[in-house]
Amino acid sequence: MFAFRSTFFILVFSLFFLGANGGKNAIASDSFGSQTLLHALWFDEQLAGSDSDLARATLPEPDFSPPLRTQPLHFLPQVQPARQQIITRVAPDGDRKVMALTFDLCERAPHLAGYQKDIINYLRSQGVKATFFAGGKWMRTHPEKAMQLMADPLFEVGNHAWTHGNFALMDETEVRKQVDWTQAQYELLYEEMQAWAEKRGVGREMGKVPPSLRLVRLPYGRNNEDTGDILASMGLPMIQWSVEGERDELERTVDQLVQWNLDKVQPGAIILMHANAVPQKTHLLVPQLVPQLKARGYEFVTVSELLAMGPVVTVIDGYFDQPGDNLYVDDLFGGKGTLGPIK
């Protein structure tokens, strides 16, 4: 009896202290989805996708048509002052070895981009958290894939502009349109998924899916002196990167890309990659890089979780790897960055 009581009290006290400690060190309690929801809406084969997901195409005419709703219903609070500049990484408290893998899903007006299923399937198989910055038009052309990413608790989704507009070249009205249309498209998919989840009897699980995109990534990393204020007023911190993960991917082997990333990474790093099947080596890079980062003690978190782990490191102007190295895109993509490369 005595032994039983002692065990009982130890258990109660352990739970108490675990609870207190867990509260103090907890990662942001935001949830990004629900396994119950994900598996109630899709079979494993549907989540795994098929080779047709990799397909890309050029449209007969550039598509600038708006989403069914052009204004989001959700409004976000102003971004706090410390986070109003361009965020390249976080300086985690205690130099904790955490980092964020991020994948952009860019789609310009004249193109249909892809979905690199092998990357997502690998992340799911290993339980690796990641953040996807989705173009609004990409979400409209890939509604089911977008909803799967939204529903998956491993993944956070952020805003990557409607047609990949270059914000350095756009006025405020144009920037707001790129961002608002994307926010609205996300909400439309959320509402569609909610109706579907209710039919399947898992409507309550939708409470675990964020009702709004809460981060933005600047296309090409380009901004001007007004961009930060506009996006801060829309409630969206600008999340860029500290490692351009696919740097010189055409000239480098996968092994060289792995080494490039390992040399650049540090606690609080944000790695930029793409999952739109445009870069051709990312699906080979990720399964080699992730185990090497794990072996070095890194833990993968979503960007919002990373932001809760320490102060942000910011820059005034975005860039790929070195300040100024993205200015050339201002002359390269027509239609204020929304069209294809000008040959």
Judged by CB under 5 A, the stretch of 106-114, 143-151, 251-259, 323-331 that binds Zn ion is: 106-114
Q: Which is nearer to Zn ion, 104 or 180 (CB)?
A: 104
Residue nearest to Zn ion according to CB distances in the complex:
106
Q: How far is the CB of 251 from Zn ion (least distance, A)?
A: 20
Q: How far is the CB of 338 from Zn ion (least distance, A)?
A: 11
Q: Smallest Cα–Cα separation from 276: which of 147, 143, 134, 152?
A: 134
152 contacts 38 by C-beta, under 8 angstroms: yes
Q: Which is nearer to Zn ion, 213 or 309 (CB)?
A: 213
141 contacts 163 by C-beta, under 8 angstroms: no
Q: Which is nearer to Zn ion, 47 or 271 (CB)?
A: 271
Question: Does 106 sit near Zn ion (CB under 5 A)?
Answer: yes
Q: Which is nearer to Zn ion, 2 or 328 (CB)?
A: 328
Q: Which is nearer to Zn ion, 27 or 112 (CB)?
A: 112
Please report, as residue ranges, which positions from 208 to 267 form the binding site for Zn ion (by CB under 5 A). Answer: 219
Q: How far is the CB of 239 from Zn ion (least distance, A)?
A: 12
Q: How far is the CB of 320 from Zn ion (least distance, A)?
A: 11
Reduce the secondary structure of the chain to three states and give it as a string.
Answer: CHHHHHHHHHHHHHHHHHHHHHHHHCCCCCCCCCHHHHHHHCCHHHHHCCHHHHCCEECCCCCCCCCCCCCCCCCCCCCCHHHCCEEEEECCHHHCCEEEEEEEECCCCCEECCCCHHHHHHHHHHCCCEEEEECHHHHHHCHHHHHHHHHCCCEEEEECCCCCCCHHHCCHHHHHHHHHHHHHHHHHHHHHHHHHHHHCCCHHHHHHCCCCCCCECCHHHCCCCCHHHHHHHCCCCEECCCEECCCCCCCCCHHHHHHHHHHHCCCCCEEEEECCCCCCCHHHHHHHHHHHHHHCCCEECCHHHHHCCCCEEEECCCCCCCCCCCCCHHHHECCCCCCCECC
Among 38, 89, 104, 277, binds Zn ion (CB under 5 A): 104
Q: Which is nearer to Zn ion, 34 or 326 (CB)?
A: 326
Q: How far is the CB of 112 from Zn ion (least distance, A)?
A: 15
Q: How far is the CB of 283 from Zn ion (least distance, A)?
A: 17
Total residues contacting Zn ion (rule CB under 5 A)? 3
Give backbone dihedrals phi and psi of 241, rounded to 5 degrees, phi first.
-160, 160
The span from the CA of 56 to the CA of 273, in Å, is: 18
Q: Which is nearer to Zn ion, 106 or 293 (CB)?
A: 106
Q: Which is nearer to Zn ion, 104 or 249 (CB)?
A: 104
Q: Which is nearer to Zn ion, 104 or 118 (CB)?
A: 104
Judged by CB under 5 A, the stretch of 23-31, 101-109, 243-251, 282-290 that binds Zn ion is: 101-109
- The residue count of the chain comes to 343
Residues at the contact surface with Zn ion, assessed by CB under 5 A: 104, 106, 219
